[in-house]
Amino acid sequence: MADTRTYTLNNGMKMPVVGLGCWKLSADVAATQVYEAIKLGYRLFDGALCYGNEKEIGVGIKQAINEGLVKREDLFIVSKLWCNFHHPDHVKLALQRTLNDLGLDYVDLYYIHFPLPIKYVPLEEKYPPEMYTGEEDRRNNIVSEQQVPILDTYRAMEKLVDEGLVKSLGLSNFQACLIQDLLRGARIKPVALQVELHPYLSQERLVTYAQSKDIQVVAYSTFGPLSFLELGNSAAKDVTPLLEHEIVLNIAKKHDVTPSQVILRWATQRGIAVIPKSSKKERLLNNLNSDKALTLSDSEMSDIFSLNKNLRFLDPWDWARLPGFF
């Protein structure tokens, strides 16, 4: 693995502290950006079936391996089970599509993307499926649920570990009560919890809970509103961009680092892994090196914690339109 710090997961695997998030990574540039990121030293790539770019990510990985830049075992490849495929009959089907697209025999970490099972739709009908549950539902502007308990889904994923198709399992966008319930019946303990986490949503209680269970927390959208402005998120428009906030700027100036490095270090100093995305080489390097660029004082950590508003920019209930829920 590259000369980057890692966290040891509860199954003994090593996860890089900083990885490259592949959400919103355009398919027409994904292969090149993944390849270039590997050249820069990135080893963790966080993807998902619903991002619609796993085939291109696989091309970038294959190029780097073929050129001898890395071996497969040097990389930590992540994907996620999308909501349409929670039924045990469909879990392996979804993973097989991911593996075929990536051109890999296994992924290192496989998350349940959301604790939100919705109606199964074949991949050949719509890919990526997003929140699609059939033409009739689309015409009525609704999403149909699927009555599948989370534990049933997770147990089907445990079989993927038994088969060697997945090295470890994780949960994404789960709250503590759901994690606690799942742990009561899980045979293979989840190694990671990925959640939206940034100074406007510091998630202190959830982080404390996950860490108490030896589950590694991974933060997405670490820069807060920046990830959601282009999606037209109204809440993102109503707050000061974190990279422009006076508190963050002052700390960055004091340490002679970038504002993004300050925010990422605030997370990693809490023992949290991060997966920022950038298309700029300089920013990619700055993000990758943020874990070593500075150490925040207790007062600086407190100043950043003071920005917390419990402001969540990605809430599935805002866009799921489940019949009878509202």
Question: What confidence tens digit (pLDDT) does each residue in 141-158 have?
Answer: 899 999 999 999 999 999
Contact 41, 69 (CB under 8 A): no
Q: Is 51 annotated in the active site?
A: yes
Contact 167, 107 (CB under 8 A): yes
Residues of the chain above pLDDT 90, percent: 86
Ligand-binding site membership of 198 (annotated): no
Query: Is the model's pLDDT at 325 over the cut of 50?
Result: no
Q: Average model confidence (pLDDT) for the chain? A: 94
HSE toward the beta carbon, residue 227, CA cutoff 13 A = 23
For 246, counting Cβ atoms within 10 Å of its Cβ (0-12 exposed, 13-18 middle, 19+ buried), the class is exposed
Position 213 in a domain: yes
Dig out the tokens for 239 from the structure.
């707050």
- Residue 163's CATH number: 3.20.20.100
Query: Is the model's pLDDT at 302 over the cut of 90?
Result: yes
Query: Is the model's pLDDT at 318 over the cut of 90?
Result: no
Which range has the worst mean pLDDT, 22-36, 56-70, 84-98? Answer: 22-36
Provide the residue range defining the domain that includes 22: 6-318
Q: Which residue has the higher pLDDT, 7 or 27?
A: 7
Torsion of CA 115, 121, 125, 127, to 10 degrees: 10
Reduce the secondary structure of 141-200 to three states and give it as a string. Answer: CCCCECCCCHHHHHHHHHHHHHCCCECCEEEECCCHHHHHHHHHHCCCCCCEEEEECECC
- Rounded to whole angstroms, the Cα distance separating 217 from 202 reads 12
3-state secondary structure (DSSP) of residue 37? helix
pLDDT of res. 319:
62
Q: How confident is the model at residue 322 (pLDDT cuts 50, 70, 90)?
A: low
Position 184 in a domain: yes
Question: What confidence tens digit (pLDDT) does each residue in 93-142 have?
Answer: 999 999 999 999 999 999 999 999 999 999 999 999 999 999 999 999 89
Structural domain count, the chain: 1
Question: What confidence tens digit (pLDDT) does each residue in 179-188 have?
Answer: 999 999 999 9
Contacts 24+ apart (CB under 8 A), 174-181: 174/112, 174/115, 175/206, 176/205, 176/206, 176/209, 176/210, 178/115, 178/150, 179/209, 179/210, 179/213, 179/215, 181/150, 181/151
pTM of the model: 0.95
Position 83 in a domain: yes
Of the chain, the end-to-end C-alpha distance in Å amounts to 48
Question: Residues 19-28: what's their mean pLDDT?
Answer: 93
- Rounded to whole angstroms, the Cα distance separating 71 from 149 reads 38
Catalytic residue (choose from 7, 42, 51, 209): 51
Question: What confidence tens digit (pLDDT) does each residue in 194-234 have?
Answer: 999 999 999 999 999 999 999 999 999 999 988 787 777 77
Position 58 in a domain: yes
Position 324 in a domain: no
Position 325 in a domain: no
Position 257 in a domain: yes
Contact 198, 221 (CB under 8 A): yes
Position 254 in a domain: yes
3-state secondary structure (DSSP) of residue 34? helix
